[in-house]
Amino acid sequence: MQTVHTLDPLRSAVAALREAGPVALVPTMGALHEGHLTLVREARRHARGVVVSIFVNPLQFGAGEDLDAYPRQLARDSALLEAEGVDVLWAPTVEAMYPAGFSSNISVAGVSEGLCGGARPGHFDGVATVVCKLFNQVMPDVALFGEKDWQQLAVIRRMARDLDLTRPAADAILGVETVREEDGLARSSRNAYLSPEEREAAVALPRAMHRAIAGIENGEDVAQALEALKAEIIAGGFASVDYAELRDAESLATLNARASRPMRLLAAARIGPARLIDNMPVAAAPQ
């Protein structure tokens, strides 16, 4: 595995990879876990060469968020990626990514509004801007993202369509199903912030979501089911719920009742120092 920290060596490394066949990109912020490694293994199924980026992107963190506390463990991450047979690790410095005078911003309206975009103003501008740069830097044939960050995936796909990106093309932006702990909690780098007691309590989030989905699919009133969901998350030991909403799975349009198109239940809640997110499919109402 070749590790590069600046743009010129990255371009040379990727050019050499491309000679052998299609290239996949897996963007991450590091502190790798089984979720990330699943993306890497999936990438290998779609390409000959695999590039993983690790960059804790300051642009997507709001004031008072965990930019400084975010775990940085490049040596450990590098060993994990090496063991997975990754070809290139792209770990740019902040200066390489945002040289002095950097002034551009990509803002994707619509899908980035509400949910995490509501709770974290400016977050998806930061994500879209850095992902657009990563795409231009690596020019991958395919890029892989986790469904755990469902709204992020929708924002990136919208950006790729709107800006006519060809590397990767919008339909080569692949979503990978959320990888979970044995008890059902979604794997996340931020789970590391939890004390053992908080970690045990955190499973209340996916459990309550499963119960709400069963209710909605059985015809329960959506507003009531969502209120009960929020109450159950709090009763489970969370301090607050940022949102718990039923949305159209693709457009992310708000739904107040069961729809006949695929739907998604999305939630974010805070426990101890962590803000955890999750989302799950909700079966469409019969036509």
Active site residues: 36
Identify which of residues 14 and 274 has a Cβ nearer to ligand BAL in the complex: 274
**Could you say which of ligand BAL, ligand PAF, ligand ATP, none residue 179 binds, taking C-beta under 5 to 8 angstroms by partner kind?**
ligand ATP
Minimum distance from residue 14 beta carbon to ligand BAL (Å): 24
- β-bridge mates for residue 186, sequence order: 180
CA gap 211, 207 in Å, rounded: 6
Identify which of residues 129 and 199 has a Cβ nearer to ligand PAF in the complex: 129
CB 31 within 8 A of CB 71: yes
Task: Count CB atoms within 10 A of the CB of residue 14.
Answer: 22
152 is an annotated ligand-binding site residue: yes
133 is an annotated ligand-binding site residue: no
**Could you say which of ligand BAL, ligand ATP, ligand PAF, none residue 159 binds, taking C-beta under 5 to 8 angstroms by partner kind?**
none
Identify which of residues 104 and 218 has a Cβ nearer to ligand PAF in the complex: 104
CA gap 189, 201 in Å, rounded: 17
User: In this chain, which residue has its C-beta nearest to ligand ATP?
Assistant: 146
Using the CB atoms, write b or e for 90-109: b if 16+ within 10 Å. bbbeeebbbeeeeeeebebe
Task: Please give the residues from 25 up to 84 whose contact with ligand BAL meets the rule CB under 6 A.
Answer: 60
The mark string for 130-169 relative to ligand BAL (x by CB under 6 A, - otherwise) is -------------------x--x-----------------
Helix (H, G, I), strand (E, B) or coil at 52: strand
Q: State which of residues 10, 24, 25, 29 lies at the interface with ligand PAF (CB under 6 A).
A: 29
41 is an annotated ligand-binding site residue: no
Identify which of residues 60 and 137 has a Cβ nearer to ligand BAL in the complex: 60
| DSSP letter assigned to residue 141 | S
Minimum distance from residue 166 beta carbon to ligand BAL (Å): 25
List, in order, residues 6 or more apart from 9 with CB less than 8 Å away.
Answer: 2
DSSP-assigned letters across all residues of 80-125? HHHHTT-SEEE---HHHHS-TT--------STTSSHHHHHSTTHHH
Q: State which of residues 130, 233, 249, 266 lies at the interface with ligand PAF (CB under 6 A).
A: 130
Residue 91 tokens, joined: 């770990």
280 is an annotated ligand-binding site residue: no
82 is an annotated ligand-binding site residue: no
Minimum distance from residue 19 beta carbon to ligand ATP (Å): 27
Question: Which phi and psi angles does 240 have, rounded to 5°?
Answer: -160, 160
**Could you say which of ligand BAL, ligand PAF, ligand ATP, none residue 130 binds, taking C-beta under 5 to 8 angstroms by partner kind?**
ligand PAF
Residues that bind ligand BAL (CB under 6 A): 60, 149, 152
